[in-house]
Structure 1
Amino acid sequence: MNPISHPAQGAAAQAADQAAEAAVAPAADTLDPKYRAKATEAAVKFESFFIGHMLHQMRSATREMAGPDSVFKDPINSDMLDMADNLVADKMAGQRAFGIADAILRQLLPAAPAAAPAAATQNLAAPLNVS
């Protein structure tokens, strides 16, 4: 069910929402362990790339904002710092610290069989005042 739908919506609109969710659900053949392993590896690598790029941009912004006599202004050993940032990013992604890989895997892989069906969840949002 759409989380921002109005509670007075008809059954037809709710059925359309469920049909749309079913259309984007992963296929049943994605339960293959090889696919699951590849998807997990790719998601973790993407999270590592994302964190590494973020650290690189943060370090670059620090250099730009630093004063002329600041220790952060000097680009000496920037290549070694980039390598260190990438290693930190790999470790953080391996621990799934940011949750990016988990979010990607929730979209790519089907839900676990023990998970509650989406129809059983409640809409806890306050109703919209439509005038």
Structure 2
Amino acid sequence: MNDTTIRGPLAVPPSNADPAIRVADEVADPAYRDKVEAAAQQFEGFFIAQMLRQMRSATRELAAEDSIFRNRINDDMLDLADTTVAGALAGQRAFGIADAIVRQLLPPVGPVKSDVVDSAPRFKSGTR
């Protein structure tokens, strides 16, 4: 018997395998989950940084002509500070954007518990 099938953690599903099986195997990999979570957190950081830049830009536009907020001298340092603050907020997952992305890209680990079903009122048969 000449079996050339590779088994174990390094096994690659055959190219003719069902795509759902290949995706399920890929999602089950902890390294893949870590990459998805890191990418989602990085996206949240980019999103927050862009939001801070837009807020700073709006403040500059709305400020009076002689206001200190119109001064563009420290724009580079303020941009760096915004990026740093955004990274810190994303690391805490303060806005929940990364969590939403991870929920959409990865199936839940463990049994799925529905809050809607658990919070529904329970009635005994024949009573209201």
User: How many residues in Structure 1 have an aligned counterpart in Structure 2?
Assistant: 100
Matched with 1:74 is 71
Q: Which has the higher contact order (CA 8 A, sep 6+)?
A: 1
Note if contact 1:31-1:110 (Cα within 8 Å) is conserved in structure 2.
no
Superposed counterparts of 1:9-88, under 5 Å: 27-88=24-85
Q: Structure 2 unaligned runs (5+)?
A: 1-19, 121-128
Note if contact 1:47-1:100 (Cα within 8 Å) is conserved in structure 2.
yes
Note if contact 1:48-1:89 (Cα within 8 Å) is conserved in structure 2.
yes
Matched with 1:128 is none
Matched with 2:93 is 96
Distance 1:72 1:105, change over 3 A: same
| Aligned-pair CA distance for 1:29 | 3.4
Quick check: which has more Rg, 1 or 2?
A: 2
Which contiguous aligned blocks of 4+ residues in structure 1 show a shift greater than 6 angstroms?
Answer: none
| Aligned-pair CA distance for 1:115 | 2.6
TM-score when scaled to structure 1?
A: 0.68
Q: Structure 1 unaligned runs (5+)?
A: 1-22, 124-131
1:15-70 CA distance string (max 9 Å, x none): xxxxxxxx9xx735301111101000000000000000000010011000100011
Partner Cα distance (1:40, 1:122) in 2: 29
Distance 1:89 1:119, change over 3 A: closer
Distance 1:64 1:94, change over 3 A: same
| Aligned-pair CA distance for 1:109 | 1.0
